[in-house]
Structure 1
Amino acid sequence: MYMYRDRVFIHSSKLALKSRFWAVSTVMTRQNTVPFQEDYHALIPLWDMCNHTNGTISTAYNPVLDRSECLALKNFKAGEQLFIFYGSRSNADLFVHNGFVYEDNDYDVYWMRLGVSKSDPLQEKRNRLLDKLSISSTSDFSIRKGAKPIDGQLLAFLRIFNMHEGKLIKLKQSNQSLAINSFAADVVLIASIKFFPVDQLDHWITSDKSGDLEYIDCALDTALETKSWCFLQARLKLLLSTSSSII
């Protein structure tokens, strides 16, 4: 194809660069890999007649019959439009690779960049804890639809970003020991003291359970959890307010 293109089209004054981009992208989005002995690319015209819907991948390669097979997502009636599932793509991916967006896309995501400021006095500690979890200090995170809109890495980042440095918390004196459960640490018994130092970042940096920060049920201070979710909400509202248009 490329040899024919170079011989016929490359010298044509009628072919604009944007037309070439359109032609190449149109063909490439319809290429399908057939994994027999070695990977082949094939065009499957019937698929080009099928529109996308939410579902699961129902296509597989049959090595016995040497063919790709596509199973129906449901029982279709005669005359009913046949839909297939293009894959778990966001609307941005569908728009770039397929030329459309799907209004009720179960797999749509919104990408949001978050990072630790270099002027943050706790930058070094935050970065150390993020590094333990293999999270970059500046990352692109996805917000998804559904009951679980964020993944573990974004959840951990929000918590670490909103942790404070050690401060003294006043406790009431008592003749009995006080039991304090602080940030998923073991229970600490304290007797006849007025202040107890709490440093969220230092605790998790030295903890062998820092990976728990990626789990929704991680035992954390209520104030930290509230602060983390409020930060995410405020960030999303800010991004929405600066959005000039909606597709």
Structure 2
Amino acid sequence: MNSLKVDNVSKIYKKKTALYPSSFEAEQGTCVVLCGGNGAGKSTLLQILSGILPPSSGTSAIYGKNMSSDRKNYIREIGFMPDDFHAQEMMTVVEFLDFYASFRKVSKDRVNDVLDLLGLTDKKSELVKSLSKGMRQRLLFGQSILAEPNVLLLDEPTNGLDPYWVNKFVEMLKRIKERGTIIVFSTHMMDVAAETGDVILFMKQGKIIQTINNEDKSEETAMKLMKLHRQ
């Protein structure tokens, strides 16, 4: 049994198809990267997998826990990073993490460890709204990893990060993956996709048009993705 199985999930808004039936599978310790331009369906797919957006058809399962029939236990397996803040900007940094930690029964020590990991310890008393874009991204990533989930879903996590923190992010993903976590994330950065993804799903106009098995993590993969982007 695959650790994560996505079976023909789709999304239709009235008469517009945002995501055509899409399927893929992933085992423990696998990183799946979603690549493609704006409107490719990456965010829609991630929101469906996270349980935020109901699919028009299909379902997904994590270790046999089905999104449709066992949603509560399915959601417990997931950490999700959205593409931007939509609320909670008047909280301090530590209040923001404490808020999410309370839902997952995460200790204060773990909150402090995450603050330190993301270089935000000296910002913990500042309001979220006062943070730079890169710091907000790091904080959003922090809440997604608090409970050390079995499946980590990240929507454009590198947006707003400077080169130093992009490199740190890549290093963190590699360590998280080594613990057996399944990671699914979207990115416009082809070099990041090529370096981290074991499987890369290139999407266009709501469809997965090519699946790349990226065993060697080479620069050739990044070039291949760039060519697909231009087509």
Length-normalised TM-score, structure 1? 0.23
Q: Which has the higher helix share?
A: 2
Higher relative contact order (CA 8 A, sep 6+): 2
* Greater strand content: 2
Larger radius of gyration: 1
